[in-house]
Structure 1
């Protein structure tokens, strides 16, 4: 069994020790922490936010909503594709009769 890599990421000025399975996971964690820190800076510059907790909650909402929207769009696209495949299957079946 491969040994986990120990890394530290800094989010909102705090250091968080993490264990990751490989360098891809490490890169993903570091990029995610960087994206969070950039969004924190953006919120602090553009909104009157008095508490880091509020900024972190806003960041969490933004990232979670992007995932949910993406999942909804994917489901919608999948449904459309299945409907079109069913239509094509019906057309082929009609022509084969």
Structure 2
């Protein structure tokens, strides 16, 4: 599928983008989350500079992403270990 042109508003600035149709909903949702985080930070702290609000938002999203990646990696390692244990048990069972 081809690309489409969309405009995304983040922190009162409009960004024209070319995205695939499949990406459009995700990108619009991501922009909404960023704007909501900026609004939340603006309401809770005395920061008014958009650059500072964007930086703080990016830091929070990046931290959450890294935590999620670490959790997924730990789950994957646990799954690998469980599969290895199951394989070992099955091998022992069928050798009898």
TM-score, normalized by length of structure 2?
Answer: 0.91
CA RMSD of aligned residues (A): 1.2
Q: Name stretches of at least 5 consecutive residues in structure 2 with no aligned partner.
A: none
Count of aligned pairs between the two proteins:
95
Paired position in structure 2 for 1:54: 52
1:1-97 equivalent positions in 2, closer than 5 A:
2-22=1-21, 24-97=22-95
1:87 & 1:30 partners in 2: Cα distance?
A: 44
Q: CA deviation at 1:50?
A: 3.6
User: Which residues of structure 1 form unaligned runs of 5+?
Assistant: none
SS at match of 2:46: coil
Shift of 1:65: 1.5
Question: Which runs of 4 or more aligned residues in structure 1 lie more than 6 Å from their structure 2 counterparts after TM superposition?
Answer: none
Tell me by how many angstroms 1:56 deviates. 0.3
User: Aligned with 2:47: secondary structure?
Assistant: coil
